[in-house]
A and B are shown apart, each in its own frame.
Chain A
């Protein structure tokens, strides 16, 4: 019997707002413990939350870019549970009226992964365990999150990976999060179940919490698939439970039974008021949004002839995508423009943060001009490379580094002279050409290119030679 993998993901994404969701403390990553805190985010008695407008806007933007329906009326709820990283003993989240519903993300194989909902909530603090003691830092407490819940539409580990990567790309692109799994700004809980191929009903699922790397996620899912199929094939049942992935063993294990674990006793948060996203608000957020990143990706591939991997790298950061388009638009050598960015410019950045900022000494217009020179045949490709390096070092335009002679090209007269000389020096090739081997012309064209150090226009050269060798 063959079994099919069925996966659904709950992805928590930290929003890149400047302040926390319910107070005005900074969301800056890092910082000494408990230095980004105030009475509100450590839940001191008497404090009250106040909702950050940008959180709602970013969440709506995330909903729009994933084709969700934005709920005109939604509210906040309390999710009550006790854990030291949760100062109020409840998390303010959304239960039955989330901000966004029923969206989808499309994969490269054409399959649409449906999104059940996207809602906003607050993050908890961080616990550090040492020698059995618990150390608590509330800097992260109150950082805004969106939780993106997919339907169980994923059918393979590759699909899971692509789904997450696509979410990362589009959320980074619209600027709502930097989605860095290593830093914890994107975390996944994976629901895994199996069913016999062809069966419609779903099997019982197990949830693997807090996956923060693709490698571990892939291993965990693979392990779960084997574990569950083994159980079923031995006639046993899969238990619905939460499991933890152990990086050391590569296995998932059931989490110790939590007494009366999940009765969260949800009820509407009385300290906050109703959120009404009007048509106006929604459209104003949509108007500020850039073009759908997946559409832009497709356009980069189709219109600019870029390989998908290259296009993806450019799309990841809107600033870079905008830069590329400004430089490449209207040129014939957009791949060269892309390579200038991906190879030469990216090489100069020491960190992701620097790449994000994308501060380069060369403006898109300057790169554009350089590419135009290539289009016009006025310079060769490897001159592009060295010229660009000098431009990046100095911030000066191309013209500073390309002499009159480099750009001048070759006059028609001079070209004829060189062609004649090349024909003389390549008598064998000439003879072959005249004998009917048209391809032999190429060798003579090559000789002309060499003699002119690439400045000659190949098409021009071919024309002249053809003429010269006639008869």
Chain B
């Protein structure tokens, strides 16, 4: 079995003494200093924290202490993760200068394991966007072609990992924000089952959709990170204790694995992207998997239902940004109401404001039944549709995005047109299922194409193994390493 996992590779180097953690960290910091201007993956660097942790890890290694797999691994956090003492902005003007006084649970977990935080990564403002371009710091560029976006909203994390400027990154996925950038940048992006990973400390966009997950260069790495962060958290009432470890399931035979192919998902997919996807499906067949075509019409309504529900929750979650307790406050105002309206209007970008307005509208008196309630009912329908599908298959294979990475400034065109590109990822968030995007080839523009595998709730072991076996078979054909950054 081939090893593509960077985490274990580095782990061996550290434990054998071939490289020290400090040396490794310095290499990454140096590479970031060189490259980040071009990619704009990082919005904040944390070299002091990083080197402090590295020194601690080196001390423990010298003392021959046994360390967890993620110890000493250079990584990043999307800038919507609360990091105590480290500025956290969600790439929004309204949180510039905000320094959290507590750590997100997942960050506490990784801190304890000795992961090395290199910095916070770029994102669409408050995670609302599909290109990273609504960020107040400007968008992140795609390492394969800097005339293309890295994707959104976890664009910075994807660009950092694909650009060899971090071993792994944690992102958040509400409607596709981990999977889509992973697909655009040719890496692995996992959105776990809703409830598998604690949301405590993740600055909320849409509470019943948000999930934290890893972006990595290989499925192995994704499984290792998942295992570390998928823990029940008493601070999060929606947190589950049903997550199962995935890494130990990698390598199981997938002969006879039933892969569902939902017809409607492949409608509207660009021809060259479709070709790459079908190529991947052929590989699965050669590995002995059985392809099962079926119909899933409810997919079509997932998208508007998602925008209604997510924006409704967002309009409520973002109500607290009023310049009173933290964050940006407008310079001049005539009274309290004026202060709050000015602060919010000056502090939020256009996309965030549009989503807040939509959310407010669908919850307002007279509209709640037609929009919010209707969308909730549709949500129940989609959940059931997936449950029915999984009665006949083990995993579902679908496109991640109908296209390859957008050119820069794509989203300036039309809000709805951009929303429509989320068609393949959103249903997975609606149903709270796990979904992983893995590189499966290239478009006619030589840009990466992602294959999305979707599983039943808490089926990460099966799901990641299905992804792993494909990666084992097809890696050399579908994964293109970027030349820049740290090459080990």
CA distance A78 to B203 in the complex (A): 18
CA distance A290 to B398 in the complex (A): 61
Contacts of B266 in A (CB 8 A): none
CA distance A270 to B204 in the complex (A): 11
CA distance A90 to B318 in the complex (A): 10
Asked if A48 and B199 sit within 8 Å, CB to CB, the answer is yes
> Is B200 engaged at the interface, CB distance under 8 Å to the other chain?
yes
B376 CB, min distance to chain A CBs, angstroms: 8
Known A134-B336, A271-B207; contact A80-B237, beta-carbon cutoff 8 A: no
Type the 1/0 row for B426-446, where 1 means its CB is closer than 8 Å to any CB of A: 000000000000000000000
Known A48-B236, A88-B320; contact A39-B208, beta-carbon cutoff 8 A: no
Contacts of A267 in B (CB 8 A): 312-313, 316, 363, 368, 372
Known A46-B82, A80-B363, A87-B325; contact A270-B208, beta-carbon cutoff 8 A: yes
Of all chain A residues, the one with the shortest Cβ separation from B209 is A270
Interface size grouping (class) on chain A: 20 to 34
Contacts of B236 in A (CB 8 A): 48, 271
Type the 1/0 row for A32-45, where 1 means its CB is closer than 8 Å to any CB of B: 00000001001111
Known A263-B365, A272-B237; contact A46-B320, beta-carbon cutoff 8 A: no
Out of B201, B207, B319, name the residue touching A82 (CB < 8 Å). B319
Type the 1/0 row for B313-332, where 1 means its CB is closer than 8 Å to any CB of A: 10010011010111000000
Of all chain A residues, the one with the shortest Cβ separation from B103 is A46
Asked if B235 and A48 sit within 8 Å, CB to CB, the answer is yes
A407 CB, min distance to chain B CBs, angstroms: 63
> Is B95 engaged at the interface, CB distance under 8 Å to the other chain?
yes
Q: Which of A51, A263, A267, A273 has the most CB of B within 10 A?
A: A267
Asked if B316 and A44 sit within 8 Å, CB to CB, the answer is no
Contacting residues of chain A (252-274) with chain B, CB-CB under 8 angstroms: 263, 265-267, 270-273
Asked if A45 and B203 sit within 8 Å, CB to CB, the answer is yes
Q: Is the interface of A mostly helix, strand, loop or mixed?
A: loop
Contacts of A272 in B (CB 8 A): 237
> Is A284 engaged at the interface, CB distance under 8 Å to the other chain?
no
Q: Which of A51, A134, A270 has the most CB of B within 10 A?
A: A270
CA distance A382 to B409 in the complex (A): 96
CA distance A271 to B201 in the complex (A): 13
A83 CB, min distance to chain B CBs, angstroms: 9
Contacts of B324 in A (CB 8 A): 84, 136
Out of A42, A43, A46, name the residue touching B202 (CB < 8 Å). A46
> Is A49 engaged at the interface, CB distance under 8 Å to the other chain?
yes
Of all chain B residues, the one with the shortest Cβ separation from A134 is B336
Known A89-B319, A136-B324; contact A45-B204, beta-carbon cutoff 8 A: yes
Of all chain B residues, the one with the shortest Cβ separation from A79 is B316
> Is B345 engaged at the interface, CB distance under 8 Å to the other chain?
no
Contacts of B95 in A (CB 8 A): 45
Asked if B364 and A46 sit within 8 Å, CB to CB, the answer is no
Asked if A271 and B360 sit within 8 Å, CB to CB, the answer is no
Asked if B101 and A39 sit within 8 Å, CB to CB, the answer is yes
Known A44-B101, A263-B364; contact A80-B319, beta-carbon cutoff 8 A: yes
Of all chain B residues, the one with the shortest Cβ separation from A42 is B325
Known A80-B319, A80-B363, A82-B319; contact A46-B325, beta-carbon cutoff 8 A: no
CA distance A266 to B369 in the complex (A): 12
CA distance A193 to B137 in the complex (A): 57
Contacts of A39 in B (CB 8 A): 100-102
B99 CB, min distance to chain A CBs, angstroms: 11
Asked if B237 and A44 sit within 8 Å, CB to CB, the answer is no
B131 CB, min distance to chain A CBs, angstroms: 23
> Is A426 engaged at the interface, CB distance under 8 Å to the other chain?
no
Known A50-B235, A271-B237; contact A43-B199, beta-carbon cutoff 8 A: no
Contacts of A273 in B (CB 8 A): 237-238
Contacts of A78 in B (CB 8 A): 316
Asked if B319 and A88 sit within 8 Å, CB to CB, the answer is yes
> Is A47 engaged at the interface, CB distance under 8 Å to the other chain?
yes
> Is B104 engaged at the interface, CB distance under 8 Å to the other chain?
yes
CA distance A272 to B199 in the complex (A): 12
Asked if A84 and B238 sit within 8 Å, CB to CB, the answer is no
Of all chain B residues, the one with the shortest Cβ separation from A90 is B316
> Is B256 engaged at the interface, CB distance under 8 Å to the other chain?
no
Known A46-B204, A270-B207; contact A82-B82, beta-carbon cutoff 8 A: no
Residues of A within 8 A of B (CB): 39, 42-51, 78, 80, 82, 84, 87-90, 134, 136, 263, 265-267, 270-273
A-B contact pairs, 24 of them (CB 8 A): A39-B100, A45-B100, A45-B204, A46-B80, A46-B104, A46-B202, A47-B200, A47-B201, A48-B237, A48-B238, A51-B237, A80-B316, A80-B319, A80-B363, A82-B319, A84-B324, A89-B316, A90-B319, A134-B336, A265-B368, A270-B207, A270-B313, A271-B207, A271-B238
